[in-house]
Structure 1
Amino acid sequence: MNHGKDVDDSAALLEQVNQALHAATPLRIQGANSKAFLGRIVAGEILDTRTHRGIVHYDPTELVITARCGTPLAELLAVLDASQQMLPCEPPAFADDATVGGMVASGLSGPRRPWSGAVRDFVLGTRIITGHGKHLRFGGEVMKNVAGYDLSRLMAGSYGALGVITEVSLKVLPRPRQCLSISLEMDSERALQRLVEWSQQPLPISAACHDGQRLHLRLEGGDGSVGAARDRLGGEILDGSYWADLNEQRLAFFDEDMPLWRLSVPNNASPLDVNGTRLLDWGGAQQWLKSGEEAALIRQAVSKVGGHATCYSHGLIDAPFHPLSPALLHYHRRLKQQLDPQGIFNPGRLYAEL
């Protein structure tokens, strides 16, 4: 079925890319600009994707939805919600008008990530305008069609550095029948131990966050399994809006006037030797850190436990994304060279070398 507000503006986007290629002009690809604070500052002519919008195809029985890049994420989620379906990776929006293209390009996932998978795991296919001035389709709408699948997945988290995503097909899932959030009083060390134990057991946990004093859990599934888990774990009932507030960084923790860092670490990592206040998300695998420490010191501590650190405070440092190893940088450069040989797409957004 088709939905209103459908506008296929791909010809105009392709023309703008070809003009930029001809004039060797860099392009700054953006939708609602809601993730502009992530990454390095990009100089270039703005390519606004919001004119190319609309849901192209959605049949709830297929568990696949296809939308153009400029479609508001809220619109896509509302359409899914009306059919009791969802995007399990819970991408944060950071703005009411955030777009589907920006969601894929940033590749950010919400509290359910360790239990359901990341944005890239739900991308089945894409249409992309490449740096050769071609509008190409990769992957497909059907889950068994894996041709070009990996290239589509590479677009997730590419921040527009590899091409203009014009359309994306996403795998969706039914919404859980029951959802209940609880809060338990315990310190972070105990919370991480319990989470490791619980991960070996059939508990319907779909989010876990520790705020320094309490462990917050979300239980999702059938009535029986959620009820049984609630009886077993105890705790106080937590307002279910907590998870959206965490995901959209509306909690009081994020108000503190200190640089914000996202630390990605193994969930069983030893405590980091870094000053600051922290919030443990993803069962400990994602840590939000508010700290005035030097970037090098934070990254050194995180690297020691096999993790990486991204600075969420715009313009604070020149390399907000964790620097790549020489081998990884080599592959990134080769990929960029193949898909964007003239280097016109969001140059330097991810790394100065790209």
Structure 2
Amino acid sequence: MTSNDHGDALAQQVAAAADSGTPLRIRGQGSKDFLGRTPSGDVLDLSAHSGIINYEPTELVLTARAGTPLSELEAALSGSGQMMPFEPPHFGDASTIGGTIAAGLSGPRRPWAGSARDLILGVRLINGQGENMRFGGEVIKNVAGYDVSRLATGSYGTLGVILDISMKVLPLPEAEVSLRLDHGETEGFNAVEQAFRAGVPVSGAAHDGKQLRVRLSGTKLAVDAGIKHLGGEQDDDPATFWHALRDHRLPVFTDDGPALWRLSLPPMADIPDLPGQRLADWGGQQHWLRTDASPEHVFSEAARLGGHATCFHGGDRDGDVFHPLSPGLRRLHERVKTAFDPKGILNPGRLYAGI
């Protein structure tokens, strides 16, 4: 295991930036530069801060530096028959665990195995004053007071520079299959929900507008029973479709067109009434949509369905990318930002203007 700890040097850079009031743009390998509002500030480079610090397969815990590539972590885990349950998207060969956690990204397995935020045990980060701080730990029950580890997950670096991450890992499933079924979207996701409640080991459910795709993962006995329960045709390689969905290599992601939106909705919500090319994931709780509808229209429709929307790629990155905050939530965000980053130098405006 390697461990290149540049934490002290990075903390000194942040402290100097705080003293001078210089905004910092936190960056690993740049695979997620397209996310959020337009980045600004001097680059704080975390690419050299990499390596696995501690990995105990028997304890189901891994700790790594933020600049560690996902591919390196997956190789180490696979060698011990384990995986990151939240199935992080790669968006390129250089994608790192720090950027993944900072953006709070999870793949197709998320509704059934947990999100990135659910599986984080602890972090070490640098706040906006250049202080090196630790939160959480390397055991499951080690949270007292505010759970900063999870607060930092999905904060896009606006609260602190994530240095090290401890996370829960799980064994790889004994068996896995991918099924194709000729169900409509609503009918198909209802069938998946009923199958899951009946004990079928669902680990993925998506609909591309033509077919329902279902992945089953677990013991061979449970997977075989799930195949009998759901029916359908099996893919020759169960990983092909799901890796393409995870890493955004399907047509809805790669075709040229208008902005790509992500709508996060409650279970069993209605299908969004928006024009454009669409793919539904997470059993209908996440919709990927290419649409030329206005941001106001998309935000309004997501809110009507009880969810929220994010302009994931393209669009006006100087405007509202994330779902607008209510006045109360805005004040809460501002207070938390001020507590961690009083000078407002860390990824300023990456989430919301002025935060």
Give 1:286's aligned residue. 286
- SS at 2:300 equivalent: helix
Tell whether 2:271 aligns with 1:271: yes
Among 148, 162, 166, which residue is 1:165 paired with? Answer: 162
Match of 2:324 in 1: 323
Does residue 146 (structure 1) correspond to residue 147 (structure 2)? The answer is: no
Q: Say which SS state the counterpart of residue 272 (structure 1) adopts.
A: coil
List per-residue Cα deviations over 1:101-120 (Å, max 9, x = no partner). Answer: 11110111000111011101
- Quote how far apart the aligned CAs of 1:313 are: 2.1
- 1:56-111 Cα shifts (integer Å, max 9, x gaps): 11110111011111111110111011100111001111011111111110111000
Equivalents in 2 of 1:170, 1:316: separation in Å? 34
In structure 1, what is the Cα distance between the partners aligned to 2:95 and 2:271?
35
Structure 2 residue aligned with 1:250: 249
Is it true that 1:296 corresponds to 2:258 in the alignment?
no
The 1-side partners of 2:271 and 2:175 are apart by 34
> Distance in 2 between the 1:49 and 1:148 partners?
29
SS in 1 for 2:313: coil
User: 1:193: Cα distance to partner?
Assistant: 2.2
Relative distance call for 1:121 and 1:149 in structure 2 (3 A) is: farther
The answer to whether the Cα contact below 8 Å between 1:125 and 1:149 also exists between their aligned partners in 2 is no
How far apart, CA to CA, are the structure 1 residues paired with 2:254 and 2:149? 35
Structure 1 residues 287-296 or 311-320, which shifts more?
311-320
Q: Distance in 2 between matches of 1:350 and 1:48?
A: 20
- Helix, strand or coil for the counterpart of 2:234? strand
Deviations 1:106-141 (A, max 9, x none): 111000111011101111011111112210111111
Q: Is residue 2:10 matched to residue 1:9?
A: no
TM-score (norm: length of structure 1): 0.96
Contact 1:122-1:170 within 8 A present in 2 as well: yes
Runs in 1 of length 4+ with deviation above 4 angstroms? none
Give 5+ residue unaligned stretches, structure 1: none
The separation in 1 between residues aligned to 2:345 and 2:81, in whole angstroms, is 41
Amino acid at match of 2:349: G
Task: Name the SS for the 2:189 alignment partner.
Answer: helix
In structure 1, C-alpha distance between the alignment counterparts of 2:196 and 2:229, rounded to whole Å: 15
Give the partner amino acid of 2:247. Answer: E
Which residue identity lines up with residue 333 of structure 1 in the other structure?
A: E
Classify the secondary structure of the residue corresponding to 2:335: helix
* Equivalent residue letter for 2:224: G
Structure 2 residue 257 is the aligned partner of structure 1 residue 261: no
Q: Classify the secondary structure of the residue corresponding to 1:169.
A: strand
The corresponding residue for 2:103 is 106
In the alignment, is residue 349 of structure 1 matched against residue 350 of structure 2? yes
Alignment of 1:229-248 (within 5 A): 229-238=226-235, 239-240=237-238, 241-248=240-247
- Kindly tell me: are residues 148 and 80 of structure 1, through their superposed partners in 2, closer, same or farther at Cα, counting changes over 3 Å? farther
3-state secondary structure, aligned to 1:312: strand
Rounded Cα–Cα distance in structure 2 between residues aligned with 1:204 and 1:32: 35
2:129 & 2:254 partners in 1: Cα distance? Answer: 43
Taking the aligned partners of 1:327 and 1:45, their CA distance within structure 2 comes to 31
For 1:98 and 1:212, how far apart are their aligned partners in 2? Answer: 29
2:130 is paired with a residue of what secondary structure? coil
Report the counterpart of residue 196 of structure 1 in structure 2: 193
Percent identical: 49
Alpha-carbon deviation of 1:192? 2.4
SS state at 1:287 partner: strand
Give the deviation of 1:179 after TM superposition: 0.6
Look up the SS of the partner of 2:147 in the other structure. Answer: helix
**Which amino acid counterpart does residue 307 of structure 2 have in structure 1?**
G
Residue aligning to 2:311: 311
- State how far apart, in whole Å, the 2-side matches of 1:205 and 1:75 are: 27
- Whole-Å separation in 1 of the counterparts to 2:8 and 2:100: 22
Q: CA deviation at 1:149?
A: 6.4
The TM-score normalised by the length of structure 2 is 0.96
TM-superposed CA distance for 1:312, in Å, is 1.5
Listed one character per residue, the Cα deviations across residues 240-278 of structure 1 (whole Å, up to 9, x for unaligned) are 211010011101222222221101111311222211121
